Amino acid sequence: MERITTAEQLIIFSRYIGQQVVIKSLLNNEDETIGTLKGVRHSALLIAIDEVNRWIPLNDNFKVCEVRLLLKPLKKLTASIIKTANNLPVQAFITPYYQQLGFDMPVFIAPEHSCNCKYVHELDLADYRTPAEIFERNQQALIAQGT
């Protein structure tokens, strides 16, 4: 997998503000946490977790957390969503519309960038699991630790 910089990650994340994310701390062995992406700045993501806003730092040299968007693959598009997208007044609105609905879309980072046209999932910045699947996995991990 190609490595993308923090600045490039922020470009991608900025297109998905309002979407759920899953956060895994790399500093301790905590469960994965689900939050909502609220904003970005030059080196961090603003994520609401249990109605508390927290800045999660991103750095090219040191990772404290893995943050992935909880997205849906394009194969889950329905006929009604496609019909609505095709009826938008400008064709350029289709991609932002799909992103707003939480679908994984090919990215554009910069002209001739090697990661252009790859899906967010392919760049290891998205997860196709549902919040329920993540919660279930956390519960299974707790049970396994208790035995």
pLDDT digits 0-9 by tens, 60-80: 888 889 999 999 999 999 999
> Can you read off the two tokens belonging to residue 26?
């790399």
pLDDT, residue 43, reads 92
Walk along the chain (147 residues) in steps of 10 and give the mean pLDDT of each run: 86 96 87 94 94 93 92 95 95 94 95 94 95 87 70
Give which of 9, 118, 14, 116 is closest to 65, Cα–Cα: 9
- The pLDDT assigned to 147 comes to 53
Looking at residue 129, what is its pLDDT?
94
What pLDDT is attached to residue 30? 77
What is the C-alpha separation between 8 and 13, in angstroms, rounded?
Answer: 9
Instruction: Detail the DSSP E strand segments found in 7-135.
Output: 20-25, 33-41, 44-49, 52-57, 65-70, 126-127
CB of 37 closer than 8 Å to CB of 17:
yes
Q: Looking at residue 2, what is its pLDDT? A: 66
Exposure b/e, 58-91, CB count within 10 A at least 16 = b: beeeeeebbbbbbbeeeeeeeeeeeeebeeeeee
User: What was the pLDDT predicted at 62?
Assistant: 87
pTM to 2 decimal places: 0.89
- Domains of the chain, earliest start first: 6-73+106-142 (2.30.30)
Q: What is the DSSP letter of 121?
A: G
